[in-house]
Amino acid sequence: MLAAATAVLLVLHAEVPNRVGNLGSLLETFLPWLGLALPVLLVWGLLRRSALALAVLLLPVLLWADLFGGLLSDRSAAGGDLTVLSHNVNAQNADPAATARDIVASHADVVALEELTATALPVYERALAAAYPYRAVRGTVALWSRYPVTGTRAVDIKIGWVRALRTEVRTPRGPLAVYVAHLPSVRVKFDAGFTADQRDNSAEALGEAIADERLGRVVLLGDLNGTMNDRSLANITSQMRSAQGAAGDGMGFSWPASFPLARIDQIMTKGVTPVSSWVLPATGSDHLPVAARVRL
């Protein structure tokens, strides 16, 4: 019975309704972790010496392998023209200077930071200036670049203050539109379920902005507070590809840093080819930095 239920959730997760507590999105956020039930069910079937239980278990095993098995392999390749990095640096970060040093040590060409505070911003500006002479700052998000940036503007994601920007990076291979975004946080509450409505509205608005982008080459960097499986990000994920999904090595979970459970920090591309993607070691943040090498 449990094996059959696991199979049903894997194949019909999109049918779990969001009307009550956004349960569908909550399931999709942690969907890969359904795989933990499989070895438990295997042991149970072996202990019971039940051929039927083991036969039924084969279905969720095959479904999980089809959905996530490919993520366990190394999909990266050599080459690429540009290294991009995204990091939610955490407003409560006790040592932003150390985090900035870690970012410089990554040797990324373009760096997006989210959850910047008025106090921490000057620290990052001083620490990153030598390696990244060009920057774009709007609200609590910012971008630093080795190459000139132009056309920077805030992106309205319908939350009343600025947590997203769009800028154009003048790379040696031509212009690249870069969006940096920090979508609203989500919470799991006993009385309200998965509180994600504000995040969902912001995702719709961000997806519309990217769809209207005039440049053909686009990179989105940021903390989207959602995974690629979450249907509520469909307005974004339907038009962009995940660098981690296309060219990563492993699941690429980025949050929380102490025990990563989900990939909510995203690097996504349109008209650009990811060739490798990876998660960097922990800094002073509760998120792990994520990076990718892309071919323009």
- Rounded-to-integer distance, Cα 32 and Cα 254, Å: 14
Domain ranges of the chain: 2-72, 82-295
Whole-number pLDDT of residue 43: 75
- Rounded-to-integer distance, Cα 86 and Cα 250, Å: 18
Whole-number pLDDT of residue 194: 61
- Rounded-to-integer distance, Cα 20 and Cα 8, Å: 19
- Rounded-to-integer distance, Cα 185 and Cα 197, Å: 10
Instruction: Report whether pLDDT(77) > 80.
Output: yes
- Number of helices followed by number of strands (H, E) in the chain: 9, 14
Q: What is the pLDDT of residues 106-123, one digit of tens each?
A: 999 999 999 999 999 999
Q: What is the pTM of this model?
A: 0.92
Rounded to the nearest 10 degrees, what angle do helices 37-48 and 2-11 cross at? 150
CB atoms inside a 10 Å sphere around CB 178? 25
Tell me the average pLDDT across 31-58.
79
What's the CATH code, domain 82-295? 3.60.10.10
- Rounded-to-integer distance, Cα 40 and Cα 12, Å: 22
Instruction: Report whether pLDDT(84) > 90.
Output: yes
Whole-number pLDDT of residue 238: 97
Which two three-digit tokens encode residue 189?
Answer: 């509450």
- Rounded-to-integer distance, Cα 84 and Cα 74, Å: 19
Whole-number pLDDT of residue 61: 87
Instruction: Report whether pLDDT(193) > 60.
Output: no
Whole-number pLDDT of residue 11: 81
What end-to-end distance do the CA atoms of the chain give, in Å? 49
Whole-number pLDDT of residue 120: 98
Give every CB contact of residue 4 below 8 A, 6+ residues apart in sequence: 56, 59, 60
Which of the 8 DSSP states describes residue 22? Answer: T
- Rounded-to-integer distance, Cα 160 and Cα 138, Å: 13
- Rounded-to-integer distance, Cα 178 and Cα 215, Å: 10
Q: What is the pLDDT of residues 123-164, one digit of tens each?
A: 999 999 999 999 999 999 999 999 999 999 999 999 999 999
Q: Contact, 186 vs 97, CB < 8 A?
A: no
Q: What is the pLDDT of residues 53-67, one digit of tens each?
A: 677 788 888 988 988
Average pLDDT, the chain: 92
Which of the 8 DSSP states describes residue 255? Answer: B
Longest dimension (CA), the chain: 67
- Rounded-to-integer distance, Cα 119 and Cα 236, Å: 32
CB atoms inside a 10 Å sphere around CB 281? 10
Tell me the average pLDDT across 167-194.
85
- Rounded-to-integer distance, Cα 209 and Cα 230, Å: 19
Which two three-digit tokens encode residue 255?
Answer: 């949050």
- Secondary structure of residue 166 in the 3-state scheme: strand
Q: Contact, 111 vs 120, CB < 8 A?
A: no
Amino acid at site 196? A
